[in-house]
Structure 1
Amino acid sequence: MRPDSPSPLIPFLVACAGIATYSAMDVLMKGLSIDLGAYNAVLWRTSAGTLVSGAIYLSLRPAMPDAATMRIHAVRSVFVAAMALCFFWALARLPIAEAIALAFVAPLMALYMAAIFLGEKIGPRSVAASLLGLGGVLVIVAGKLGGSDYDPEALWAVGAVFLSAVFYAYNLILARRQAKMAEPLEIAFFQNFFVAAILALGAPWFAVLPGEGHAPHILGAAILATLSLLCLSWAYARAETQILATTEYTGFLWAMLFGWIFFAEAVTLPTLAGAVLIVAACLIVARKVPHQDPIDPAAA
């Protein structure tokens, strides 16, 4: 495994660029999810991503990954596929900023996953932070319920974001070890390939061919997702997870901007207040995390 960078500044900035690129991809995926449904949006984006990343990766004639590395590629792809389906289904029904803010509970969920899978103890400080984060979620949900344009389906979308956050929390545990074992291009290719292959199992029942007008958005989303994955994989291979995890919160700023520009989505005061509470809770937890890599129970 490659050593960390002597200074975390450059990996931190690269990770921020990766989050910004991914947020731009969310804009295209929201439109595709509305038009085609989340399943088809993710299926065709990852299929296009396989071609884009594969053209670059395979042109370098790389050696095939060993069994342990391939196993991590496959296992992480299962969680990525489930996470993407849940999140983009919700994104078609919620403002981008609200969906991103609710997804910030993932680091808190990762804390409890560490207790379940790794036997780590959860202290009073972590419990208090979790309650603070829960308070932030309740503020956002209350704002959604109290709105004049309340849509009952929005509650299902909130639940889908939570389920996506569960998958994403475990994905965070896998990401660091995967980035230490493989190069960014390899990760980008195999993640796209495995996710597309997993989703293709349902193609006979759910797949719909996109129209010509959707092709530029699918290709654009695939390129942006690949660039984001390359940036994040490069960064996570060179700095600790606890340092880079805070870059996730910059996604809320991009979500507010892009949601306003492309979908005329106003950011409500409850969304802002809830996001502040959730981010504060995550930062409280991050301050107590020891400086060591998480153990991947799937690789044990």
Structure 2
Amino acid sequence: MRVRGPFVCQEPVMSDNLRGSLFMVLAMCGFAIEDMFLKRVAGAGMPVGQVLILFGGGGMLAFMALARAQGQAIWHPAVVQPRMLVKAAFEVTGRLFYTLAIAYTALSSASAILQATPLVVVAGAALIFGESVGWRRWAAILAGLGGVLVILRPGLEGFSAASILAVIGLLGFAGRDLATRAAPKVLSNFQLGIYGFAAMVPTGAVLLIWQGGAQVPDGAQVAQLVAAVLIGVYAYWALTLAMRTGEVSVVTPFRYTRLVFALILGVLVFGERPDALTLIGSAIVVGAGIYTLLGTRRQVLRRAAN
């Protein structure tokens, strides 16, 4: 509180939802910048398998340091439970194919396809966990997947087979998110981060053998990989803080700002020029995702009222 003359002025206080939303925007900005650095490193000639090894190893070490700083154990027996192994398999699939997608396709289109992840998660939650999803949200899910097809444009002149890599990455990340719901509660977010990044190392090693071996990175590549790790860890921290600060139904729609940052970076850094179909498909995916999330919020509020 601040006193100014005879008047008393109340200092503005930022709400939890506003803080959570800002952290979500910062997280999405961080993930988009991380993707940009990884694309630049791969575009400079480093094999994607080597990128995964170095990025996964760096992220693993960073989360190990964070876990130890919080007094958490690096190893927990729960990591070998079947549910965690399923999560690791999806994590590897998502990270491997999405990294290949941003390496071989436009950052803007790969990021646009990735925005359908929440739609697939909602559909998976209904089919696997039996969660209630009304016909309106099913219609929104189908519309969002239709938006992905608009971006892919199968059968048309602009179709790129490499775009399928982003679709497989999307399915991997959606499966990871669903598996995370069933992950043992005894594992902290930092511990989950350790194991998620660690899984990239052997995956990258197998891919690197297939690609024919590693190369000696130059100073610019090392600097960009370090930046990708640091920004990626920061983005993960901001994402966790966002989800724990505000209401999930309010904060989650701001995930879609990642597409805005990816479009800007794609244009400014890589000279990409998204065409009309990519922009239309992106708008459909984002609109369907926000509608689905708002529908989920209304359902939660109705349950609370009853």
- The alignment's TM-score, normalised by the length of structure 1, stands at 0.80
Q: What's the CA shift for 1:263?
A: 0.5
Shift of 1:223: 1.1
How far apart in 2 are the matches of 1:106 and 1:254?
17
Report if aligned partners of 1:143, 1:270 keep a CA contact under 8 Å in 2.
Answer: no
Partner residue, 1:106: 117
Report the 3-state secondary structure (helix = DSSP H, G, I; strand = E; otherwise coil) of the residue aligned with 1:288. Answer: helix
Cα distance change on mapping 1:177 and 1:14 into 2, 3 Å: farther
Tell me, yes or no, if structure 1 residue 83 matches structure 2 residue 83.
no
Q: Would you say 1:21 and 2:19 are equivalent positions?
A: no
Q: Secondary structure at the match of 2:283?
A: helix
Q: Which amino acid aligns with 1:24?
A: I
How far 1:187 moved relative to its partner? Answer: 3.6
Equivalenced residues, count: 281
Aligned equivalents of 1:52 and 1:65: distance in 2? 15
Instruction: Please tell me whether residue 48 in structure 1 is matched to residue 90 in structure 2.
Output: no
Shift of 1:192: 2.0
CA distance in 1, matches of 2:124, 2:241: 25
Farther-moved stretch of structure 1 (133-142 vs 225-234): 133-142
Identity %: 21
1:69/1:181 contact within 8 Å kept: no
1:227 matches 2:234 = yes
Offset, 1:60: 5.4
Match of residue 195, structure 2, among 179, 190, 197: 190
5+ residue gaps, structure 2, are 1-14, 302-306
User: Hey, what's the Cα distance between the residues in 2 that align with 1:250 and 1:144?
Assistant: 30
Q: 1:143 to 1:205 in 2, by over 3 A?
A: closer
1:64 CA drift (Å): 5.1
**Partner amino acid for 1:208?**
A
Q: Which amino acid aligns with 2:250?
A: I
* Matching residue's letter, 1:95: A
User: Could you tell me which of 268, 279, 283 is aligned with 2:275?
Assistant: 268
Matches of 2:190 and 2:227, distance apart in 1: 18
Aligned-partner Cα distance in 2 for 1:70–1:233: 23
Query: Residue 16 of structure 1 contacts residue 250 of structure 1 at CA under 8 Å; is this kept in 2?
Result: yes
2-structure distance, mates of 1:54, 1:281: 37
In 1, the alpha carbon distance for the partners of 2:22 and 2:282 equals 22
Q: Does 1:12 align with 2:21?
A: yes
Provide the aligned C-alpha RMSD in A.
3.0
Q: Given residue 81 of structure 1, which amino acid in structure 2 is its aligned partner?
A: V
SS of alignment partner, residue 250 of structure 2: helix
What secondary structure does 1:267 align onto?
coil
Q: Which residue of 2 aligns with 1:58?
A: 68
Q: Secondary structure at the match of 2:72?
A: coil
Name the CA distance, whole Å, in 2 between partners of 1:262 and 1:144: 29
> Do 1:176 and 1:236's aligned partners in 2 also have CA atoms closer than 8 Å?
no
The change in CA–CA distance for 1:122 and 1:183 in structure 2 (over 3 A counts) is: closer
Shift of 1:135: 3.2
Q: Deviations over 1:191-228 (max 9, x none)?
A: 32233245446665555244224211221111111111
